[in-house]
Structure formats: C-alpha cells, structure tokens
Amino acid sequence: MTPYRYETTGRNWRTLTTVVGVWGAILLAIALFDAAFWLMALIALTTAPALYDLFSGRRAGLSLESEGLRWFAGRQTGDIIWDKISHIRLDTRLDFSVRASAVLTSGRKVRIPLEATPPSDTFEAALKARAIDVQRHHFSLLG
C-alpha cells in the first residue's frame, strides 16, 4: 500500500489573511471608533504566534507508512509502530479544530501535534483504508 503523506507550512494564505484581517480590524477600530490603543495592542499581541509561523515558515506533517505512524512539527518528531496502536481518536473541540491522539494498546494516549494533523475527513479515510480503527468524539471538553 502506498504511504499517505500530509505536509503543511506556517507560510500559507489562511494564516496571512487572518493576520491581515485582525490587524485591519484593529486599525479600523482605532481610526473610526477611537478605540483604546492599549486594548488594541493587547489584541494585536494575540497574533504573535501566527506572525512567528509566517516568518519562520515552520513545517509540519504526518505520514502513514507500512511500519507505522510518523509526524513532525518544527523540532518535535514522533513515530509509533502499528502493533502498539489500539485506535486513533479524533476529538472535535468547541472551536471546531480536530485533535488526533493515538491510543496505545497499553491505554496511554499520544497526542499528535495540532499543526501536523491532516484534515479530519481525509485522515480518517486514509486510516480506514489501512484497517485502523478510528473513534470520533465531538465537542468533548475533556479527553
């Protein structure tokens, strides 16, 4: 079976348009509504991680290979062989992001970094094509 690969980078249009949109709204609030500068500066500070991603171009990805599951996100890497994985758990959070965890046969959960996680539908289809059990949990606060 051919390996499944997903790779992304911090330099993408979605990140850029989000940062430009937030900064545009901040400037608009200052110009039109005389918003407090210190408050707008605090809001602008929340875009710092996205700005870091844009400037660093940090890469992240995941691959399903014959021997197991591998991922990387910046300097963080990980891999698990298929024999140790009981199932993959996909948790949809309240912000609609999907967190993936590999649940090991020992019961321990290994979280896959969010930036290395592929879109949930294609990830689930790729796992099921390899006969890997997938459990979906929607809007759970814990887990």
pLDDT tens digits along 94-143: 888 899 999 999 999 999 999 999 999 999 999 999 999 999 998 866 65
Going by C-alpha positions, the residue among 59, 113, 121, 82 that lies closest to residue 1 is 82
The predicted pLDDT at position 3 comes to: 81
Interatomic CA distance for residues 6 and 79, integer angstroms: 15
Q: Could you please report the per-residue DSSP string of 48-96?
A: HHHHHHHHH--EEEEEE-SSEEEEEETTEEEEEEGGGEEEEEEEE-TTS
Output the CATH code of domain 4-8+59-138.
2.30.29.30
User: pLDDT at residue 28 above 60?
Assistant: yes
Backbone CA torsion sign across 20, 25, 26, 27:
positive
Q: Specify whether the CB–CB gap between 62 and 79 falls below 8 A.
A: no
13: Cβ–Cβ under 8 A, 6 or more apart, which residues? Answer: none
Q: Specify whether the CB–CB gap between 22 and 15 falls below 8 A.
A: no
pLDDT tens digits along 31-84: 999 999 999 999 999 999 999 989 998 899 999 999 999 999 988 999 999 999
Copy the structure tokens of residue 72: 């990387």
Q: What angle do CA 82, 84, 87 make, to 5 degrees?
A: 75
The predicted pLDDT at position 74 comes to: 86
The predicted pLDDT at position 1 comes to: 65
Domain map (residue ranges) of the chain:
4-8+59-138, 9-56
The predicted pLDDT at position 128 comes to: 94
Of the two residues 3 and 127, the one the predictor is more confident about is: 127
User: pLDDT at residue 2 above 90?
Assistant: no
pLDDT band at 10, cuts 50/70/90?
confident
